[in-house]
Amino acid sequence: MPGLRKMVREGTGLLAVFSILPRVEMIEAIAIAGFDAVIIDLEHGPIEVGDLPQLTLTARAHGLSSIVRVRENNPSLIGSALDAGANGVLVPQVGSRREAEAVVAAARFAPEGARGANPWVRAAAFQGGPDWFAAANESVAILVTIEGTDGIASARSIIETPGLDGVFIGPVDLSNSLGVPGQIDHPLVVAKSSEVIDLARERSMAVAMFAPTPDGARKWLARGVTMAVVGVDAGHLVAALSDIRKRASNEQGGLATTVEEEERT
Ligand code: 3PY
Ligand code: MG
């Protein structure tokens, strides 16, 4: 089994980051920083399918795996993301086994699924090769998100969906569904997330978790997740810029005072 599918299924300690900025430079920065994968986020970012060829091509040129989070569980969105060159797909808000089966059907060609077939797309190098369908089935990684009380209740049967490569836990939406909005470290969110991790790992299923900070990522990796998705590119940019501005203006005192004093003399 080649490609991202193998990496997701067999890898541990994997690090990814969400990208909501549709720029090749951002994808390059994520690759240069050494992440294993980028999740290009069409659910929350102003990114369209037409942006995907250059974004996924840039990732590939840097040896960075690309996963596209589609807006919703919809076969045409899943097929378009894969045709454009994504190595894998992540589908938000999956609440039942039936929904998870629909994701697998949309992402795998027959006989494993019912993905719309056209071997002249970018992902197939535009060449119409008949071997591409089987190769794509072997390498494309399929992840579904458990982030609602419905998904938690059906976690066991979702995890056992044939053809699925991994589950992703979304603590932000989960905190909202559990009535503690935004409190991703709330004991209820932690307990429900831990249940999903245990169910997945008992079945040797890959499990990814969103954590906005490096400390959170390390904590969840130690708790058993196989991939941590550490924050969002735009958020990291703002945090880094704020820190640089604060340190350059020396808000804790020092440099600014010295300059003012110099001006007075
Ligand atoms: C969540 O935490 O709800 C996510 O989907 C991560 O972006
Ligand atoms: Mg979410």
Tokens linked to 207: 């499990």
pLDDT, position 265:
46
C-alpha torsion sign, points 199, 204, 209, 168? negative
DSSP 40: E
User: pLDDT tens digits, residue range 163-201?
Assistant: 999 999 999 999 999 999 999 999 999 999 999 999 999
- What residue segments make up the domains of the chain, in order of their start? 4-232
Other CB atoms within 10 Å distance of the CB of residue 195: 15
User: pLDDT tens digits, residue range 63-89?
Assistant: 999 999 999 999 999 999 999 999 999
Ligand 1 pocket: which residues have CB below 6 Å?
18, 145, 147, 170-173, 210
- Give whole-number Cα distances, 233 to 18, 40, 236, in Å: 6, 10, 5
- Mean pLDDT over each residue of the chain, to the nearest integer: 95
Residue with tokens 């240069």: 32
Q: Which residue, by CA, sits nearest to atom 5 of ligand 1?
A: 170
Q: Please determine, looking at this structure, whether the domain spanning 4-232 carries the CATH number 3.20.20.60.
A: yes
- The Å distance, Cα 53 to ligand 2 centre, comes to 24
Q: How far apart are CA 142 and CA 164, in angstroms?
A: 6
Closest atom of ligand 1 to 147 CA is 3
Q: What predicted TM-score, i.e. pTM, was given to this entire model?
A: 0.93
Closest atom of ligand 1 to 232 CA is 7
Residues of the chain with pLDDT under 70: 1, 252-265
* Amino acid occupying residue 87: N
- Give whole-number Cα distances, 35 to 15, 59, 229, in Å: 6, 11, 10
